Amino acid sequence: MTTKTNSKRANLVPLIVDVAVPIGAYYLLKDGLGTSTLMALGLSSVVPAVRTGWSVVKERAVNGLAALILVVNVVGLLLSLVAGDPRLMLAKDSGVSSVIGIGILVSVALGKPMMTAGMKPWLVKGIAEREAAWARLQDRSADFRRAERRFSVVWGVVLLAECVLRIVGAYTLPVDTMVWLGSVAMIPTMAVAFLVSGAVGAGPMARMLCAETKAGAVSRPEVALAR
């Protein structure tokens, strides 16, 4: 039980530190404490900035999730300086979705799908046998790697589509309409992303992972007997 708990914690910690903490800090500062957007973005950038710097110095590699959140916050800071045109102020919110979407697609092109960090803990469930099966599939199964890439591609494409729709809405719909519509647009976006990415990515991966875990469990007694 301890091994499973430690494994699940190890998988979830990067997601919490790199994504949940900075995003949660932004909304807490802006909506909870009433600070300005500029200050909320600046203060919530501290954790991803430290994580990115630490990974470069300690691991000699760039932490993808932390770096992406940092870039998103910097873009938000720059866009927050834009004032005057209410439609432009509404359209600027799409900058976050576009940067994240592009970042996810670039990570797929580089062979390191970024959304895997959020998906893996839910499929592995902190079980050591599943961890081992995941490693084997990533190493040996082209189908598994394709499904992994598809999962991230769906999220990247959906977020970019949401960005385009926000911009179109900001300049074609009444400003009063977009004020509330823009706030709820992420709900159907997330729903579509979850459904499609689950159907073409996470679902097939879960089935392959279960089959590989069972195959590994069957093969171990045979190895023991051979010894």
CB 66 within 8 A of CB 18: yes
User: Can you give the pLDDT at residue 217?
Assistant: 73
Of the candidates 115, 113, 107, 108, the one whose C-alpha atom is nearest the C-alpha of residue 19 is: 115
User: Can you give the pLDDT at residue 190?
Assistant: 81
Return all residues near 156 (Cβ < 8 A) that are at least 6 apart: 101, 102, 103, 104, 105, 108
User: Can you give the pLDDT at residue 29?
Assistant: 78
Return all residues near 23 (Cβ < 8 A) that are at least 6 apart: 44, 69
User: Can you give the pLDDT at residue 183?
Assistant: 60
**The one-letter amino acid at 97:** S
User: Can you give the pLDDT at residue 169?
Assistant: 87
- pLDDT profile of the chain (227 residues), mean per 10: 51 58 71 72 68 66 60 64 62 71 91 88 89 94 96 94 86 77 74 92 95 80 44
Whole-angstrom Cα distance, residue 70 to residue 204? 32
User: Can you give the pLDDT at residue 152?
Assistant: 95
> Where exactly are the structural domains of the chain?
1-81, 84-227
User: Can you give the pLDDT at residue 17?
Assistant: 61
User: Can you give the pLDDT at residue 224?
Assistant: 41
